[in-house]
Amino acid sequence: MTSEIDLSCRNINKTFDDFIAVRDVSFEIPRGSFFSILGPSGCGKTTLLRMLAGFLEPSSGDITIKGRSMLGIPPNKRPVNMVFQHLALFPMMTVAENIAYGLRRRKEKPAEIKRKVADALERVGLPGVGDRAISQLSGGQKQRIAIARCLVLEPDVLLLDEPLGALDLKLREHMKVELKKLQQAFGTTFIYITHDQSEAMVMSDNVAVMNSGRFEQVGSPQDLYYNPSTAFVAGFVGESNRFSGTVVSRAGNIVEVKTECGQHLHASERVDLNLASGQKVELFVRPEMIHLSREPQQSTDNSMTGQVENILFDGGNSRLLIRETSSGSEIQVVHPQTSEFSDINKGDTLFLSWKADQSHVFLDTNERGEA
């Protein structure tokens, strides 16, 4: 991968009448990388992708691909292709005819088309299925054909709008890995939109977390997970225990918070927040960051005592639901699959602890004064 920029957006806005669907979005995507846009339903993902593809014009801002502005350039003249959520394969054509469709429209030579189609089928791992009808393929195979049909046109950028949405869970898990491999094999820049954080995290070099039309944070999956920059990102990416409370004091970047349930907790603050006493905040700690013990802990930044209320078995992702004794609040902790905890029962008392820098504190979303 080079660091050459394939696609960049500068201050993109899109309004529908007086509704702002995309607000002031800027980003750059290096050539050959896998970039995901992750956000809840209605946050503006498809609107943004349609602007990149050329089906919608931005209300303001600029989009460049390989340094050339795309404003006013129709979809078929842009070096991009789009894979839609509800894939649009032609059911009356064979697999090979589907893949050849775009090449025929470009009036490429029949021998050349035949070679490219066979090559594309090979590369998506389905050699020899060219003569089959679309109805003779499984959901995952159809998805790969839809992608082959785009990749055969050798776009600089491939746009994918929730392409795994229609597949069942098992197949989605499989296709996640397949898609990442395909992207690496072709070396094409992928822009992938999804509301599924696990899809975005597994496949991407970089992820933009989108909320209400805005990019909240752009970063590597590790960045988003370990250093979320807003409460929204902390809550949306991965699992977290969330506490609402008020700032009591601070020492350096460690903030003491009194929660609504009356607990006193300590968390690290991102340098740019400058939280002050009395401000309403949200505090996050991930279930796997909490240390469990059967004995009371030496004084740590955060400690609690609670009873096991439920054991949620899910293999390596098993959780304990713990009801804190003094406040009654519920906390999820990863269930360590070690012999020490293998005989744990409902009602057992456990001691919980974690360090301040293993949890994050943000200004309460409602206090951020958003329009």
Ligand X SMILES: Nc1ncnc2c1ncn2[C@@H]1O[C@H](COP(=O)(O)OP(=O)(O)OP(=O)(O)O)[C@@H](O)[C@H]1O
Q: Which residues bind Mg ion (CB under 5 A)?
A: 46
Which residue, 162 or 178, is less far from ligand X as judged by CB?
162
Question: From the list 47, 81, 183, 189, which residue makes contact with ligand X (rule: CB under 6 A)?
Answer: 47
214 contributes a contact to ligand X by CB under 6 A = no
Which residue, 86 or 109, is less far from ligand X as judged by CB?
86
**Could you give the CA distance from residue 127 to residue 152 in angstroms, rounded to a whole number?**
14
DSSP, collapsed to helix, strand or coil, labels residue 12 as strand
Q: How far is the CB of 21 from ligand X (least distance, A)?
A: 4
Which residue, 217 or 241, is less far from ligand X as judged by CB?
217
DSSP assigned state of 101: H
- b/e for 103-128, b at 16 or more Cβ within 10 A? beeeeeeeeebeebbeebbebbebee
CA angle 7, 11, 14 (to 5 degrees): 100
Is beta strand 206-211 parallel, antiparallel or unpaired with respect to 214-219?
antiparallel
Q: How far is the CB of 138 from Mg ion (least distance, A)?
A: 24
46 contributes a contact to ligand X by CB under 6 A = yes
Which residues in 186-205 contact ligand X (CB under 6 A)?
195
207 contributes a contact to ligand X by CB under 6 A = no
Q: How far is the CB of 36 from ligand X (least distance, A)?
A: 13
Residue 9 β-bridge partners:
27, 63
Which residue, 19 or 251, is less far from ligand X as judged by CB?
19
Q: How far is the CB of 144 from ligand X (least distance, A)?
A: 22
H or E segment and range at residue 38:
strand 34-38
List the structure tokens of 325.
Answer: 């004794």
Q: For residue 216, what are the contacts with CB-CB under 8 A and spacing of at least 6?
A: 209, 210, 229, 230, 232, 233
- The one of Mg ion, ligand X, none whose footprint includes residue 195, by CB under 5 to 8 A per kind, is ligand X
Inter-helix orientation angle 110-123/139-151, to 10°: 130
163 contributes a contact to ligand X by CB under 6 A = no
Q: How far is the CB of 39 from ligand X (least distance, A)?
A: 6
Q: How far is the CB of 74 from ligand X (least distance, A)?
A: 18
Interacting stretch for ligand X, rule CB under 6 A, among 42-50, 123-131, 298-306, 319-327? 42-50
Which of 249, 237, 240, 182 has its CA nearest to residue 210?
237
Which residue, 11 or 277, is less far from ligand X as judged by CB?
11
The total of other beta-carbon atoms located within 10 Å of residue 165's CB is 15
Which residue, 46 or 183, is less far from Mg ion as judged by CB?
46
Q: How far apart are the first and last CA of the chain?
A: 40
DSSP, collapsed to helix, strand or coil, labels residue 98 as helix
Which residues in 2-41 contact ligand X (CB under 6 A)?
16, 19, 21, 39, 41
Question: Given the rule CB under 6 A, which residues bind ligand X?
Answer: 16, 19, 21, 39, 41-47, 195
